[in-house]
Amino acid sequence: MSALIDGVKGNHFAVFGRAGMDMFADPIGTKSEDATQFRADLGGSSANICAGLVKLGSQAALVTTVSDDAVGRFCINRLRDYGVDTSYVRAIGGEYRTSLAVYESCIEDFQNVIYRNGAADFQVTEADMDAVRYSDFTALITAGTVFAAEPSRGATFRAFEHARAAGLPVIFDIDYRPYSWPSPEVAADVLSRAGDESDLIVGNDEEFGFMAGGIEKGLDKARELAASGKMVIYKMGHEGAITLVDGQEIRTGIYPVTAVKPNGAGDSFMAGLLASIAAGHDLRDAVLRGSACASIVVSSAGCAGAMPTTAGLEEFLSSHAGPTDT
């Protein structure tokens, strides 16, 4: 585990996956079909992770493709506004389009409408991966969405090879989105391969259960991966998380909040976890800080914009009860 921890402590991340535009109904509590105004911001799981990392004092570069149009340029501009390195974001022409998410800040009957037909981020190529200067980074992060289609699937596995050659640990957020995949069978096979080739795997109980062939088998799957020498974080929603590493199972709770939406929590957890390890916190504390970041995001409108700064995280920790007992 020392190589993984050392890579995270290097605090300079190459992040692979999608950027998109989020449009969320305003004000909080407004259903999308009733809205007369929406707010726009950066979205997409990997872009959110980048924004979260940078706001917590880390360095992050996003590696992806966006459409060569106003929406793609919006995403690049917002990435730059957040301080994310866009050197490896390539704009592409044709009929490919940057993803759009339209959602609301309402927990009851929450709706998130995703537009991903002809998704531009699936057009990342092996040439894009070959162009990355891996020696500039200390760790690679990827979200599972990149593996849902070619050419980004093969290109990202190629990036794994480059990372290994450069001595970078691979951090994998399973991030299973059924609508992106041709079939559950393909998804289970490809995501399992990605897990096998990663050093740190983060996912929820449903995602590990999916990889194992049933939610009741999810924890066993996580334990199997941990037994092979990986660090695994098995998230269980309101029941907290189990971190499996070096034969240990570290159980942690959550910070209760009044949520206004469910999305963005996993991205914020990942950013908070990694930035906290990089800042010198021990693993248990880093997981708890990641959980606090998730609570902050679900209690606010938006995703990238709701990611906390270090000062905001510290203020939350000092003013909120928790974590819950496990």
Tens of pLDDT, residue by residue over 205-251, are 999 998 888 889 999 999 999 999 999 999 999 999 999 999 999 99
Cα–Cα dist 9/29, whole Å: 39
**pTM of the predicted protein model:** 0.97
Evaluate if residue 9 carries a pLDDT over 90: yes
pLDDT digits (tens, 9 = 90+) for 40-78: 999 999 999 999 999 999 999 999 999 999 999 999 999
pLDDT at res. 326: 66
Q: Rounded to whole angstroms, what are the CA distances from 52 to 49, 60, 129, 154?
A: 5, 9, 23, 27
pLDDT tens digits, one per residue of 89-139: 999 999 999 999 999 999 999 999 999 999 999 999 999 999 999 999 999
pLDDT, average across residues 298-326: 94
Q: Are strands 241-245 and 231-235 parallel, antiparallel or unpaired?
A: antiparallel
Strands 20-25 and 170-173: unpaired
Residue 17 main-chain phi, psi, to 5 deg: 145, -165
| DSSP E strand stretches across the chain | 12-16, 20-25, 38-43, 59-67, 85-92, 99-103, 112-115, 139-143, 170-173, 200-204, 231-235, 241-245, 248-252
Could you give the CA distance from residue 198 to residue 311 in angstroms, rounded to a whole number?
31
Q: Confidence band (pLDDT; 50, 70, 90) for 322?
A: confident
